[in-house]
Structure 1
């Protein structure tokens, strides 16, 4: 009995132990199985969410290949097939967006493009100027005036922020004739392309016999009534976005598109009221009634960037081929990943558009290839060659101003580094302004931001901003002047450089002067120019205060210390005591700042950078018999600034100086042919009393028919007779080496003229045979240089003309020996 009970207890314990061990084994096997499963599949688990930087974001967009229609991409392709694109361009901001869209299009296209542009009068001028100066190959443009077509949509009840212009895409089947093209891509201007437009164009081949319109579905819940609009116009599901449209014009005309949309709009507007989204509401209403006409484009052909957009579901899986900023706020939207897409947009805005002039294309341009290639010369880098253009975008900010009969526009120009000067001018000048900016594409973006953030500039709509895009090394000063001059809407212009600040109330005083004088035909009003002698000098508020500054030597006549000839005909001594306007006589090298009628002759654009750019314009006014009148109650003040790069180039390059001199001769000869006016003394020997401190060229014998080729009026002319006879006329023939006690310090320029009373000798000997190297600041309009090295000049400028042997040096008259020595110390 006892043994039986013991065995029973033992068996029970064994059974329990077996059960526990079995469970432990099962648990262990389960854990091992889970571990193995996780180990094998660990790389397939989703990675934890993390913030992606711009670099990774762009890499993801471009690495994704799911979008690629490879069967289309690698088919045999006609690279000369023309892609037709229709756009509505109206308004200054629309033109800026279209400029960026064009760059993104040109960056990715491989085929010729024909643009069909519905434009208002302002946009037509802006865009014609843009593409005329851009000179991009294989871009064809047709312009259609909006006023002709507005009557077709003006009756539609519409509350879109673009007004009636937001409906004009509906009428492209009527605007573009079927004999031009049977297919048309219709795009908004606020798009940026991220892929070849040809791939979108080829989707027309996928339309069936009923499908006439291709669109991408709307990427927000607007048409579901979940956003601001409780009862939007009808749409299929989320509806379609009309920012990208594929129009099969042949089919649309076959089912009478115009009649179809007009009848539907009349019916639906009674029920739903105004079309808040313009043409998009009407197209969606049509698709509800005629769903067979639509072809659903892939989402990546219209990636929408509105505040409530759900486009991330698309671009997470596909590379966005078109980015659409479909919001009134444009690039200020708060959509998901907005900052990263704005970075992509900035890259397009800052892209150098000049590059597309030279972009190689697969389609051979036979017409361009047949054109003769112009043969340039060494001077093309220093003067503007014929047929050269600077890409120009006019009015990149809104401009609205209604002018009266005496109105004046302040026309000036600047580079990006002087952007701040616009505020200084705008503070004082209360009338309309024109700023022509010489910028890169990236600098234009920064300039627009500067204007938008400026408390002084941002709210003014009477300021015209024009962008002339940088090309080459030299500042195209006359191109910039003409850009502003050709685009004013006032009867008169004040032509001035940006480094001047006008006196207070100058605008009103000038208008009073014009009103009292009446017609300014053949008349130029001179505004006297002065300069502060030191930085930080206040601008005098009136003439009385200015005279006090002059007497205290805080201010002096402009360039009177370095180049008196540019403004001395203004007669500053007379101006100080004169109470009425007075006439002055034009003299060589006169370059005043003037008020004239806007129909004044344009500046000669061949002059680039430094030298004679304004002098030539005033000389042509003289050739046209203009009357020059100095205003006695106004003035402008020059602000000191760093020496311009063009002036430095001019000083360093003898080729630059030679090219400029050649252009001067051509210009004066042109005036003679055009006006039958001869300027005999424009480059002749000046009288000593008029041109002090200036080294003179040698006089030829009067009986000879020899012509002298001068580089400038300041330098000796080296003859060609000796060269023709196999010998050269070296400087030692005219000068003697100064005996310096330290031969190792001698320079080739350490010579003095045999004429012992020559002022050059006095200054050299007074300085102990050495001249200090002194530089000075110069205005962009300081048209001449004083410190040419004669030996270097001779080597470059050996002339082939014949001159007589008996050549003498003309002495110079200098009144003040100290002043003379000071000026001559700048020669080296």
Structure 2
């Protein structure tokens, strides 16, 4: 990069290309070394390829508490302003993947990235920026995985950049021993999601309610509603009626496969998002489905919530991509069910609580019980 003025960017010769990763081996054998690019291309092998992954393009100067929650998110250059607002509001660790199209506007968009980063002092303090350069739009799950892979705390929250964390989340978690315990044990904790009924009211996050009581007043006034209440399957499993009166963490008991909450998860032991999902539709639901099937339960935080910041959607693009991903997701559910079921059988966990989520969901698949009986019989 060159400063000031327009940036220049050589994808092939950027400094990360010459970086070497080293593994120490036991018993005095020679160390194993490999170029970082080769490692990252293997990690993200299910993406469209080739993609240039630049970890820590900018790295926060702070050393983060391992028990803190890192927001992991993804943006393109047109979302820089709203991302800056998120950084200012959260003032905690954030790991963001920024996609830059490898086209004639690449260098200009990288210059805009530098301008955004330098314009907000909280960026340098709290944000790790990872850049992905390629010609493929909307590889959302791949971008999510990059942000999570390089997050520097034990917990991460998958959050869309256009959502505003309205409460003092870190403080509430520090004061809630039950929430911390379920997180420590590997469960996910959910922040209920809302949006303004009149989209013009949802533009300025500075006007959003900052606590549960203020939020409920706006809900009762019908100014705020459940996020995307026209598609109740997306968030109804949170059980909003229970949340309005709850003072304690409670378990999600009515999970279904379209559920896609905003959740905090443990970095280690949580399945990764499947990178075959390209474009809008089902990408996050598929990720959260596999997490649930793997044996991770969802719990809802009693005081914290997020609100969507209004913006226009590319509806025609979203409509077409949803159609393609709907079929992929149907096949993916069956694949995940059989893959984890076989794993549970082979590791003697089929009759353990870890397999209950899978049985609850996968028994709905035609023929699943019969196939599993055959598996169990073949394994003795």
Instruction: Name the TM tier (shorter chain).
Output: 0.7 to 0.9
Any conservation in 2 of the 1:535–1:639 contact (CA below 8 Å)?
A: no
Deviations 1:355-376 (A, max 9, x none): xxxxxxxxxxxxxxxxxxxxxx
- Inter-CA distance 682–590: structure 2 relative to 1 (3 Å threshold): farther
Is structure 2 residue 234 aligned with structure 1 residue 566? yes
Per the normalisation by structure 1, the TM-score is: 0.36
User: Measured at CA, do residues 101 and 584 of structure 1 come closer, stay the same or move farther in structure 2, by a change above 3 Å?
Assistant: closer
Work out whether residues 522 and 625 of structure 1, in 8 Å CA contact, stay in contact via their aligned partners in 2.
no
Partners of 1:628 and 1:552 lie apart in 2 by 29
User: SS of 2:282's equivalent?
Assistant: coil
> Are 2:212 and 1:551 equivalent residues in the alignment?
no
Is the 2:97–2:143 Cα contact (8 Å) retained in structure 1? yes
Which residue pairs with 1:535 in the alignment?
200
Structure number with greater CO (CA < 8 Å, separation at least 6) is 2
Cα 1:648–1:116 shift into 2, 3 Å: closer
Aligned: 1:666 with 2:331: yes
Unaligned runs of 5+ in 2: 3-7, 24-33, 342-357, 367-380
1:444 is the counterpart of 2:107: no
Question: Are the counterparts in 1 of residues 337 and 362 from structure 2 also a CA contact under 8 Å?
Answer: no
CA 1:632–1:131: 2 relative to 1, 3 Å:
same
Report the CA distance between 1:582 and its aligned residue.
0.8
Q: How does 1:414-563 map to 2 (within 5 A)?
A: 414-440=75-101, 441-442=106-107, 443-457=109-123, 460-472=124-136, 474-513=137-176, 517-518=180-181, 520=183, 521-533=185-197, 534-537=199-202, 538-560=207-229, 562-563=230-231
- How big is the shift at 1:452? 1.1
CA contact (8 A) 1:436 1:468 kept: yes
Aligned partner of residue 435 in structure 1, secondary structure: strand
Q: Contact conserved, 2:93 with 2:126, CA < 8 A, in 1?
A: yes
State the SS of the aligned residue for 2:208: coil
Note the C-alpha offset of 1:559. 0.8
Q: List aligned pairs for 1:674-823, cutoff 5 A.
A: 674-676=339-341, 677=358, 679-680=361-362
Aligned residue pairs: how many? 318
Deviation at 1:104, TM superposition (A): 6.4
- Measured against aligned partners, the alpha-carbon deviations of 1:445-490 in whole angstroms (never above 9, x if no partner) come to 2211221133553xx3321111112423x41110111011000110
Larger radius of gyration: 1
Deviation at 1:103, TM superposition (A): 4.0
Structure 1: 5+ residue stretches without partners: 1-91, 94-98, 106-114, 122-126, 136-383, 685-828
Provide the rounded CA distance (Å) in 1 between the counterparts of 2:279 and 2:18. 38
Looking at secondary structure, tell me which structure has more strand per residue. 2
Post-superposition shift, 1:392? 1.3
Q: Say whether residues 1:413 and 2:82 are aligned partners.
A: no
Q: Distance in 1 between matches of 2:296 and 2:338?
A: 18
Residue 593 of structure 1 corresponds to 262
Cα distance in 2 for partners of 1:491, 1:681 equals 33
How far is the alpha carbon of 1:579 from its aligned partner? 0.9
Q: In the alignment, is the contact (CA less than 8 A) between 2:193 and 2:227 conserved in 1?
A: yes
Give the structure 2 partner of residue 613 of structure 1: 283
Deviation at 1:527, TM superposition (A): 0.6
After the TM superposition, which residues 253-402 of structure 1 pair with which residues of structure 2 at under 5 Å, given as runs? Answer: 388-402=49-63
Distance 1:570 1:516 in 2: 16
1:129 and 1:393 in contact (8 A); partners too: no
SS in 2 for 1:438: strand
